[in-house]
Amino acid sequence: MKPLYLISFMLIVLLLTGMKQSNEPAPSLYLSGTRNWIRIIWDDVPGAGEYRIYWAANDKKPATPAATAGGDENRFYIQDVQPETLYYIWIEPIAAGKAMTSLTGSVTTQKEWVPDTEELKELQTNPSSAAVPEGMQIYWQDEFNDALLNRNKWFTNYYSGIDYLYKINFSKMKADSLPQPAYILNGKTINLFTNDSLPQEVYDVKNNKKISSIQTYDWSKNELLLDNSRGGYFEVKVKRSSTGKPRGLNTAFWFDSPGPDLKYYLEQDATLDGVQGIRPKGQVFEIDVFEYLNAQFVLHGHVDTNGKFQRNLATHIAEGYQHIDN
């Protein structure tokens, strides 16, 4: 932990630079770097009409600001950053055309997910349910309270092992060009949706189906963002709804494990495209939670020697609940 304390100390020293001596605490800068964006939050500076924002991959401040925020704003996202790179940030509160001071700090864009103090604060006002088993500690979470999707937690390249059989999207998966989901982040939730116009690209061309999905695993990269080597308890707060009579509506929270190699999907003694299956007969390869609007819980398992899905291992429907729009 010693390096963390040193970094915090250096940051405080930098923030104090240029501030007039006062009984008021110096405004602070709070930085968080992911593989695809840097979040900047700063304390309000009374009298500031705007904030000029500078950044660079070295400690030399650019001559002109890269962005400007209004005087009533205190958050900004730098996008299209390089992962695992040290960035320097400068925020200048401006009054009457002149800089009042300069808030300065630095942050490294991490590729790994790390606990976020802003999200942990959210749990104080929006706690987990009373169903959480006693003694459990949070290992991974997403409150979706940022303006952008955190790519240290989620991929947007939906793919399933069953496509190995049909090869509809196999080449797109290999080329990292899979259809992308349609979603909206409002600072509190994420809204994944499909309609007549969005997503723009159909995923299942054969059946004319669209998919809006985010995942913690990427098949083409074989990169896993959530460690699945441990058991535990998971909780998700979801509201599902539909209009009209959509065909093939599926709203699953999906636990999937057979990637990236076909051998994890095929059962033992089954061979397809030269790949021999290693999954024991009767072992689950996919779990779907509230797969349809009737809240169906499904354990998928049985496939034939050619890899074609046969039947579920178990199915349960939660009776006695109003599942839609709750």
Give the CATH number of the domain where residue 104 resides: 2.60.40.10
pLDDT > 50? residue 138:
yes
Residue 283: inside a domain:
no
pLDDT, tens digit, for every residue of 215-246?
999 988 889 898 877 778 888 888 999 998 88
Q: Mind giving me the DSSP string for 112-132?
A: S----HHHHHHHHHSPPPTTS
Any domain includes 115? no
pLDDT range class, residue 211, cuts 50, 70, 90: very high
Q: In this structure, what is the dihedral angle of CA atoms 228, 149, 113, 15, given to the nearest 10 degrees?
A: -170
The whole-chain average pLDDT of the chain stands at 86
In a domain, 77, yes or no: yes
Q: Is residue 71 part of a domain?
A: yes
Say whether pLDDT at 255 is over 90.
no
The pTM of this model reads 0.84
Instruction: Determine the structural domain holding residue 103 and report its residue range.
Output: 2-108
Tell me how far apart the alpha carbons of residues 104 and 55 are, in angstroms, rounded to a whole number: 10
Cβ–Cβ contacts within 10 Å for residue 95, how many? 14
Q: How many domains does the chain have?
A: 1
> Cis peptide leading into 260, omega within 30 of 0?
yes
Contact 265, 161 (CB under 8 A): yes
Which residue, 21, 92, 79, is CA-closest to 51?
A: 92
Residue at 213 is within a domain: no
pLDDT tops 50 at residue 157:
yes
For 237-244, the CB contacts below 8 A with 24+ separation are 238/290, 239/325, 239/326, 240/290, 240/293, 240/323, 240/324, 240/325, 241/324, 241/325, 242/293, 242/324
Does 13 map to a domain? yes
Look at residue 20 and tell me if it is in a domain.
yes
Residue 8 lies in a domain: yes
